[in-house]
């Protein structure tokens, strides 16, 4: 029997944590960082992710979630991506000046 709070979490069975994913076949959490990131900068980065770029380098991904942020105040926004494509981390992410993208973690079935 699963312990309290563990019954609905994928990859957790009877207090034995193991890699798993209840979010879909593959989910990546990325960070978009810039001092006082603006709404327009965030919108541009997210649009670039959703539309994709060079196949095999910056494939189109589905946006599954965006962390809470306050435009013009927040320095780091986390974004959950779903899809089997590839995204490449880097500075001035996909042409958005000053925004740095990093892959934080990945969940896979």
Task: Find the angle CA(93)-CA(38)-CA(46) to the nearest 5 degrees.
Answer: 45
Tokens representing residue 73 in the block: 């105040």
- How is residue 92 written in tokens? 């001035």
pTM: predicted TM-score of the whole model, two decimal places: 0.80
Distances (CA, A) of 42 to 1, 3, 29: 43, 39, 15
* Distance (Å) of CA 78 to CA 15, 62, 91, 105: 28, 14, 16, 11
**Domains present along the chain, CATH in parentheses:** 23-108 (3.30.70)
- Per residue of the chain (109 residues), what is the pLDDT tens digit? 344 454 455 555 556 666 666 677 889 999 999 999 999 999 999 999 999 999 999 999 999 999 999 998 999 999 999 998 999 999 999 999 999 999 999 988 7
Cα–Cα distance measured from residue 73 to residue 82, given in angstroms and rounded to the nearest whole number: 27
Contacts of 16 (CB under 8 A, 6+ apart): none
């Amino acid at each position: 029997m699963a312990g309290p709070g563990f019954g609905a979490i994928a990859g957790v069975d009877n207090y034995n944590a193991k890699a798993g994913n209840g979010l879909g076949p593959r989910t990546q959490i990325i960070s978009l960082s810039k001092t006082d990131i603006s709404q327009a900068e965030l919108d541009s980065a997210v649009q670039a992710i959703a539309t994709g770029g060079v196949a095999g380098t910056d494939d189109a991904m589905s946006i599954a979630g965006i962390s809470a942020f306050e435009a013009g105040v927040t320095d780091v926004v986390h974004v959950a991506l779903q899809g089997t494509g590839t995204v490449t981390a880097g500075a001035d992410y996909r042409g958005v000046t000053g925004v740095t993208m990093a892959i934080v973690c990945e969940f896979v079935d």
